[in-house]
Structure 1
Amino acid sequence: MDCLRAETYVLDQLRQHLSPTLFYHGLHHTLDVTEQALGLAAAEGITGAEDLLVLRTAALYHDAGFLTTYQGHEAAGCALARQVLPGFGYCPAQIERISQLILATQMPQQPGNSHLARILCDADLDYLGRPADFWPISQTLFEELALRGLMPDETAWLELQVRFLSTHHYWTPTATARREAEKQARLAEVKARLAGSE
């Protein structure tokens, strides 16, 4: 596995070809998720070199499907991985593991019992429990959805946020310990904003 070349390839593609209107799902999100995934993996005791490379590659490719489609981007990301990763020395079994991790991030998240999938899912939504940037990040997602006609107004967005935050749970003990309390605080803030807007 030449993870470095696989990483360079996908980051170049994202820099050059992602729509500038992906205010949330831009390159910055992919880099953040990759960083969070590796941090969670360390805290969760993942030490195997292949596991870490598979996780890193999956994080880097998890939203690469946005290069070609908005709806169903996870499947498109898997298709890209299957197309290009053999050229970087990934074997079919490794590519299948990476694809399963990418598919686990589809909403609603379904990581099953896979430790790596649980880590990637938690990394993908790490911001839900981050006090410093929850609001600016959630605003970018609202703007991205609104531009595509997928979110009618801010009230509908706040209602969706309440439903999402109320039903979401982290999958790993580390993410739960690090983020759950702050996520509940953000939920209370969203409910307060919603009450103020009605």
Structure 2
Amino acid sequence: MGINNLNHHIYMMNYLDILDQVRAHVSSLFHTNKDERLIYHNLLHTEQVVKAAVKIANHYQLSDHDFFVVSIAAWFHDIGYLTSCEKHEERGAGLVKEFLESKGADPELTSLVMNCILATRMPQRPVGLLEEIVCDADLFHLGSEDFRERNKLIRKEASAFAGKDIDKHEWRLKTIMLFESHHYHTDYCRDLLNEKKEMNLNELKEKVIKDDHEKSKEEKAINSVLENTDHHPEIAATGSKAQLMEKKENKKEEKKKK
């Protein structure tokens, strides 16, 4: 083995060793600082983002150095959620800085990793391919087959942190806003995910239209009953206006929980 090949081999061994340490470190942080409210932004999500980042990085045949940057950023990108949802990207960047400095990493490499994590702040504004890859990996699920299930988990998590159930209809409207303001940054993800992303968006819109239609029908029916209560004893006998209004509110609450 020539000197250059030997140096490259040692270099790669060091990268792989640190990546193994990163995986173990992040996994340990999630396990030892477990927050039951993190129904979505947990270790599983992190692993899914890492998998997506590796998939995109492999497509672009990144150098070992750049692959290392993207991978570490993906592992640390949501670790800040363990302390708070707000400004979690900044905390993630701070934690990865501490970790890499403890490993004697080059400051320039550390800066690249931190910038990749910070680029995932919404609205995303990545600069350069590495940041674009991490951003696309983070929202890879918008164009995936399992988007619906993941979106349910995100809503449950948001409800847990809010301390109240978030209305399903309201959540769909917010998700539609996210879809319409988002775009994939890499050509690879646009080609791979845009078609399914559009299908997921259309499904959300159809459900919103259906919700609005059902709500309108229900309100018309109840209002019709309320209007006729005073004139028709047989209707009044089935319940007071107050009871009908209570029933109306109960139905709203039931819909929120579905």
Q: Which residue of 2 aligns with 1:68?
A: 83
Q: Contact 1:5–1:88 at 8 Å: present in 2 too?
A: no
2:100 maps to what in 1?
85
Out of 15, 18, 32, the position equivalent to 1:16 is 32
CA distance in 2, matches of 1:20, 1:148: 10
Q: Give the drift of 1:36.
A: 0.4
* Pair 1:182-2:224 in alignment: no
Larger Rg: 2
Structure 1: state its 5+ residue gaps. Answer: none
- Where in structure 2 are there 5+ consecutive unaligned residues? 1-14, 213-258
Offset at residue 110 of structure 1 (A) = 1.1
* Aligned counterparts, 1:136-147, within 5 A: 136-147=149-160
In the superposition, the TM-score normalised over structure 2's length comes to 0.73
1:161 paired with 2:161, answer no
Q: Which residue of 2 aligns with 1:119?
A: 133
Q: Could you say what secondary structure the match of 1:148 adopts?
A: helix
In structure 1, how many angstroms separate the alpha carbons of the residues matched to 2:23 and 2:189? Answer: 25
Aligned 8 A contact 1:55 1:116 in 2: yes
Q: Which amino acid aligns with 2:97?
A: R
How much does 1:149 deviate?
A: 1.9
- Select which of 47, 53, 66 maps to 1:51: 66
Distance of 2:107 and 2:34 partners within structure 1: 27
TM-score (ref. length: structure 1): 0.94
Are the counterparts in 1 of residues 120 and 134 from structure 2 also a CA contact under 8 Å?
A: yes
| 1:87 CA displacement | 1.6
1:32 counterpart (37, 42, 48):
48
Distance 2:64 2:26 in 1: 21
Cα displacement (A) at 1:85: 1.7
Superimposed CA distance per residue, residues 18-37 of structure 1 (whole angstroms, 9 cap, x where no aligned partner):
31211110100100000100
Give the superposition deviation at 1:100.
Answer: 0.2
Is 1:192 aligned to 2:206, yes or no? yes
Superposition RMSD in Å: 1.4
Aligned to 2:219: none
- Larger RCO, structures 1/2 (Cα 8 Å, 6+ apart): 1
Once the two structures are aligned, what percentage of the paired residues are identical?
29
1:84-111 CA distances to partner (integer Å, 9 max, x unpaired)? 2212232221111111000000111110
